[in-house]
């Protein structure tokens, strides 16, 4: 009896610790630019001789892990904490970076949304509208707003010297866009992706899924364009949502992760946008 109780205890504690342990790792992807990951989430860390910039704390536990990791590996202060956009699943844990030398940065709309919705994270003090350039160690990180695409104030991060681009949520490489596109603007996703493809970079790092090159991002764009055009044309032909889910097969993209589970949901998301934002059924 005592042995089986002991066994039960070990089984229980090992399972619980297994649940609690999220896979966290930080890998240099190019010249001082690191991808820090927590499960399916990625944030970006830029390490220079004049300090560190962190994009997205993700959550409290990840932020605590990241702060320790940076202290033990680099012995440089965090000079900038930047939020990619307003959503709590990327922006929580900002208060962990409480060094007074850290300047918190985001787009104006992301900051407003965090304030108005009372998000419990450190609020941005440096806010911008169109474009902001941060300099560290003689190099540049350029932040750019491309209009609405996902949530509020979601911007691109461009390292012109290292030729790296970081984008969260509105570009995903090797995976389908998220479910029924909650909080996404499909026009904005397409417009913003076209804009960043005009910029000079050759390594894409995303807040989720795979890294890639320009061809990989072009393929994600092709998917969005095909999805949008086929749902729109079907609606103009008078097809119902159920018919669209049958007819819009998008087979040539079946290699993308989550294709089986999310294809019909993606169609729903575009249908909803065309119905609610474009009033396409009121013509
Ligand atoms: Zn996300």
Q: Report pLDDT digits (tens) over 177-210.
A: 999 999 999 999 999 999 999 999 999 999 999 9
- Domains of the chain (ranges; CATH) run 22-282 (3.60.15.10)
What is the 56 CA–ligand 1 centroid distance (Å)? 10
Higher-pLDDT residue of 143, 16? 143
pLDDT (0 to 100) of residue 19:
52
Signed CA dihedral, 63, 23, 154, 118: sign only: negative
What is the 47 CA–ligand 1 centroid distance (Å)? 23
pLDDT above 90 covers a percentage of the chain that reads 92
pLDDT (0 to 100) of residue 20:
59
What is the 277 CA–ligand 1 centroid distance (Å)? 23
Q: How confident is the model at residue 114 (pLDDT cuts 50, 70, 90)?
A: very high
Q: How confident is the model at residue 11 (pLDDT cuts 50, 70, 90)?
A: low
Whether the predicted pLDDT of 136 surpasses 50 = yes
pLDDT above 70 covers a percentage of the chain that reads 93
- To the nearest whole number, what is the mean pLDDT of the chain? 94
Whether the predicted pLDDT of 17 surpasses 90 = no
What is the 40 CA–ligand 1 centroid distance (Å)? 9
Whether the predicted pLDDT of 3 surpasses 90 = no
What is the 13 CA–ligand 1 centroid distance (Å)? 30
What is the 58 CA–ligand 1 centroid distance (Å)? 9
Determine the average pLDDT of the residues in 131-140: 98
Q: Enumerate long-range contacts of 132-140, CB under 8 Å, 24 or more apart.
A: 132/105, 134/53, 134/80, 134/82, 134/105, 136/46, 136/48, 136/50, 136/51, 136/53, 136/79, 136/80, 137/32, 137/48, 137/49, 137/50, 138/48, 139/32, 139/48
pLDDT (0 to 100) of residue 21:
74
Whether the predicted pLDDT of 282 surpasses 80 = yes
What is the 181 CA–ligand 1 centroid distance (Å)? 11
Whether the predicted pLDDT of 7 surpasses 70 = no
Whether the predicted pLDDT of 2 surpasses 90 = no
Whether the predicted pLDDT of 1 surpasses 50 = no
Whether the predicted pLDDT of 60 surpasses 80 = yes
What is the 161 CA–ligand 1 centroid distance (Å)? 26
What is the 283 CA–ligand 1 centroid distance (Å)? 35
Whether the predicted pLDDT of 5 surpasses 60 = no
What is the 90 CA–ligand 1 centroid distance (Å)? 6
pLDDT (0 to 100) of residue 200:
98
Place of tokens 């030729």: 163
Determine the average pLDDT of the residues in 77-96: 98
């Amino acid at each position: 009896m005592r042995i089986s109780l002991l066994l039960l205890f070990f089984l229980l504690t090992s399972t619980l610790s297994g649940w609690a342990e999220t896979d966290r790792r930080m890998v240099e992807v190019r010249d001082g630019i690191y991808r820090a990951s927590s499960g399916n989430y990625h944030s970006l860390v830029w390490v220079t001789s004049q300090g560190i910039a962190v994009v997205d704390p993700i959550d409290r536990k990840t932020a605590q892990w990241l702060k320790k990791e940076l202290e033990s590996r680099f012995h440089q202060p965090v000079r900038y904490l930047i939020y990619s956009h307003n959503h709590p699943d990327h922006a929580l844990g900002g208060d962990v970076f409480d060094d007074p030398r850290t300047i918190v940065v985001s787009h104006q709309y992301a900051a407003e949304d965090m304030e108005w919705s009372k998000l419990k994270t450190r609020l941005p003090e440096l806010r911008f509208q169109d474009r902001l350039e941060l300099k560290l160690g003689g190099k540049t990180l350029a932040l750019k707003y491309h209009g609405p695409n996902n949530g509020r104030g979601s911007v691109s991060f461009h390292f012109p010297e290292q030729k790296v681009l970081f984008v969260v949520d509105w570009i995903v490489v090797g995976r389908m866009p998220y479910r029924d596109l909650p909080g996404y603007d499909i026009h904005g996703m397409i417009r913003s992706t076209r804009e960043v493809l005009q910029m000079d970079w050759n390594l894409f790092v995303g807040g989720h899924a795979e890294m890639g090159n320009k061809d990989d991002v072009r393929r994600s764009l092709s998917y969005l364009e095909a999805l949008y055009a086929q749902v729109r044309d079907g609606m103009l032909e008078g097809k119902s949502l159920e018919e669209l889910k049958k007819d819009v097969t998008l087979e040539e993209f079946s290699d993308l992760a989550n294709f089986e589970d999310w294809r019909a949901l993606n169609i729903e998301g575009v249908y909803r946008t065309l119905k609610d934002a474009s009033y396409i059924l009121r013509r």
